[in-house]
Chains A and B, each alone.
Chain A
Amino acid sequence: MSQQIEDRLRSALRAEAEGVRLSTDPWQENQRRVAAATSRRGLRVLGIAAALLVVATLVGASALLGGGGSGMPAGGSGDPFSSEALLGPPVEAETLTVDGEQTVHTIVLSDMTGKGPNLCEQYATMSADRGSGDSSSGSGGCTPRDEAADDPAVAFDWLMGTEGGGDIRGVTAGVDSRVATVRIWMDNGDMVLATLHPTGWDDTRMFALTTQPPDAPTAQRLVASGRDGNVLQAVDLAASFGDDWLPARRFCQGDEQGQWPFPGSGGPEDVAISFGRTDALVSGSAGITPACLERLSSTAIAGRTTFGEVVIAVLAPEVELVRVVDRDQLLQERVVAPAQGSPWKVVVVRGLAADVQARAELVALDAHGIELDREFLSQPSSP
């Protein structure tokens, strides 16, 4: 039956696709749209330039800035910090010391183009003679509201990262009105609860966190939760911002980051996992041959391996519970356990015979039993 319906579906879809009609000159329409989008993007390009200046400032090349600037270049576009553009009060979210100089990180929601709210930030480094009230340099950038922000699956309506010459990592984000808490999971396993500031627009709120690796950990994953504690959206920052944000460090190649189980936690003695930032080495006794999970994915079930009747899964920090199900039948339920020195969590499920593994699924849930991810055990571990 299955093969039959697959064949019929293939053939029906091909026939249906052939019936789709196209307009006579879509390229011309495309070029019109591209031109319109490019003009809209002008201000954002300035945001990039500004952020690059932030890099210059924070690595101590403030002379490049010419000094005395207010931070945001105008360049013919609106100033997001001008009173006409502000949608709410600017918030001094952080004060940092960079190269011995005090730097204030200000964030604001602003509509300087009349086309929607942008989340904007400004890093302002104060000169030594701060008493004069003259900031020596500063800069920043803006990001528009995510075009999918109205999608219920999206809670982070704005998300922006600033990287400063390898010395700073700043994440600035805005969340919608459903969000009660944002947990920022750092790459060393620490969790920081974001301080959410009202933006002044549509009950959204914003936050910022800047760190200076390698002396401080880097933000790895953001998890937004609703008032009931249910996970609304998780964002893997390495996946969003690229490998420069969080350079891959692989235990399987010698870069140790964390381990599981916690020493002295009473966890299983026959399984051990050593974590890099992006991989994990599973080892143990009793027939467990060391196996490297080479690329932990950004999904809630980040990696998985199987030894006989034992399934070992690495999970995102927002996962609290794992179920093994066969269709609608619950076979096993396990609470997951955190690792040390890493944001990942782990679950070990035992007693899964080969015939069960052939048809069962692993389901990851949050603390409220809401499904975050699922995989067939018969499938290779993702990605």
Chain B
Amino acid sequence: MVVGQDGAVTGGDGYGDDVGRRSDTEVAYEQLFHGHFGAMTRLAAMLGADDPEDVAQEAFVRLHRRTGVLRDPHSAAGYLRTTVVNLTRSRQRHLSVVRRHRPAAPDDVASAEQHAVGRESGRELVAALTRLSARHREALVLRYWLDLTEAEMAEAMGVSRGTVKSHVSRGLDALAALMEGTR
């Protein structure tokens, strides 16, 4: 058995499927796609991906190779979340380099009314979220949007549960500080 770093090769698992006949894993894959594609695209968007649908598509293509994972819908959902988190983080690194060379956009000029009504609006909070570190943002999105448990978050982020707790706590502190700074 040869196993690759990306886990794509797992002892030939599933490669013997008959051509022309849909296997159980293909059926499972389609069900997973229709059940989770929207959520994975939204997750990528919330994590700041510049092309969230492309990230979600790539995650599903990778899942397609993992026939062993496909047999367990719970594992498959976890695998998808982890892949979306990793892909988004990886792409953001490239994106940040590009942004560094781009002139800063002028601040939006908001009306007095907008200031009065929307100072602490949801949009402002989400905007503040984009200023957090990738890890803090991941932790807060996984916790407060997907309502994942610490164990599920640890799996998705590739860190220990203790580290998850730390990122959530520090992320909330940082978010509160940013919101405080806008007052």
Which A residues are within 8 Å of any B CB, using their own CB? 1-2, 5-6, 8-17, 20, 22-23, 26-27, 29-30, 33-34, 37-38, 41, 44-45, 47-49, 51-52, 55, 141, 143-144, 146-148, 150-152, 156, 158-163, 240-242, 244-245, 297, 299, 301, 361-362, 373-376, 379-383
Chain A neighbourhood of B175, CB < 8 A: 5, 9
* CB-based contact B126/A37 at 8 Å: no
Q: Is the CB of A299 within 8 A of B159?
A: yes
Q: Which residue on B lies nearest to A151, using beta carbons?
A: B90
Within the complex, the shortest CB–CB distance from B81 to chain A, in Å, comes to 14
Contact (A13, B144) CB under 8 Å given A34-B61, A379-B161: yes
Q: Which of B9-33 contact A (CB under 8 A)?
A: 9-12, 15, 30, 33
| Nearest 3 CB-CB pairings of A with B | A375-B162, A12-B122, A159-B5
- Across the interface, do B151 and A13 meet the contact criterion of CB distance under 8 Å? no
- CB<8 Å pairs between A and B, sample of 12: A11-B122, A12-B126, A17-B46, A17-B145, A44-B4, A48-B2, A143-B4, A160-B4, A361-B162, A374-B162, A375-B160, A382-B162
Q: Given A2, A240, A380, which contacts B3 in the complex, CB threshold below 8 Å?
A: A240
Given the interface pairs A51-B1, A143-B5, the reply to whether A148 lies near B86 with Cβ below 8 Å is yes
Q: Chain A: which residue is nearest B37 at the CB level?
A: A26
Residues of A within 8 A of B120 (CB): 8
Query: A148 touching B90 by the CB < 8 A rule?
Result: yes
Contact assessment for B5 and A16 in the assembled complex, using a CB-CB cutoff below 8 Å: no
Residues in chain B near residue A29, CB distance under 8 A:
57
List chain B residues, Cβ under 8 A from A241: 3
User: How far apart are the CA atoms of A22 and B53 in the complex, in Å?
Assistant: 7
Nearest A residue to B179, CB-CB: A5
Interchain nearest-CB distance for B135 vs A (Å): 11
Other A-B pairs, 6, CB within 8 Å; known A22-B53, A27-B33: A9-B175, A22-B41, A30-B60, A52-B12, A151-B89, A161-B3
Contact A41 B3 (CB under 8 A): no
Given A373-B159, A380-B161, A16 and B6 touching (CB < 8 A)?
Answer: no
Contacts of B42 in A (CB 8 A): 17, 20
B75 within 8 A of A: no
Q: In the complex, A150→B58 CA distance in Å?
A: 17
Main SS of chain B's interface residues?
helix
Q: B176, A379: Cβ atoms under 8 Å?
A: no
CB distance from A2 to the nearest CB of B (A): 6
Bound Cα distance A158, B5 (Å): 7
Report the Cα distance A297→B161, complex, angstroms.
11
Number of B interface residues at 8 Å Cβ cutoff, please give it: 61
Smallest CB-CB separation from B53: which chain A residue?
A23
Nearest chain-B residue to A18 (Cβ)? B42
CB of A297, distance to nearest CB on chain B (Å): 6
A48/B9 in contact, CB under 8 A: yes
Contact pick for B176, options A1, A22, A163, CB 8 Å: A1
Q: Which residues of B contact A2 (CB under 8 A)?
A: 172, 176
Say how far B176's CB is from chain A's closest CB, in angstroms.
5
In the complex the two chains form, is B159's CB within 8 Å of A20's CB? no
Are A374 and B166 in contact, with the CB atoms below 8 A? yes
A55 touches B166 (CB 8 A): no
Contact A162 B2 (CB under 8 A): yes
B125 at the interface (CB under 8 A from A): yes
Complex Cα distance A161/B169, Å? 38
Residues of B within 8 A of A144 (CB): 4, 6
- B140 in contact (CB, < 8 A): yes
Measured CB to CB, the closest approach of chain B to A346, in angstroms, equals 17
A242 in contact with B3 (CB, 8 Å): yes
B7: chain A residues at CB < 8 Å are 240
Shortest beta-carbon distance from B170 to chain A in Å: 9
B65 pairs with A37, CB closer than 8 A: yes
Contact A375 B2 (CB under 8 A): no
Task: Provide the residues of chain B in CB contact with A48, threshold 8 Å.
Answer: 1-2, 9, 11-12, 15
Q: Which residue of B lies closest to A140 (CB)?
A: B2
Residue among A30, A47, A52 with the highest chain B CB neighbour number at 10 A: A30
* Given A26-B37, A375-B162: A159 in contact with B4 (beta carbons within 8 A): yes
Complex contact B5–A156 (CB within 8 A): yes
Q: Which of A26, A38, A301, A361 contacts B53 (CB 8 A)?
A: A26
A148 to B42, CA, bound (A): 22
Residue pair B38, A22 in contact (C-beta under 8 Å) = yes
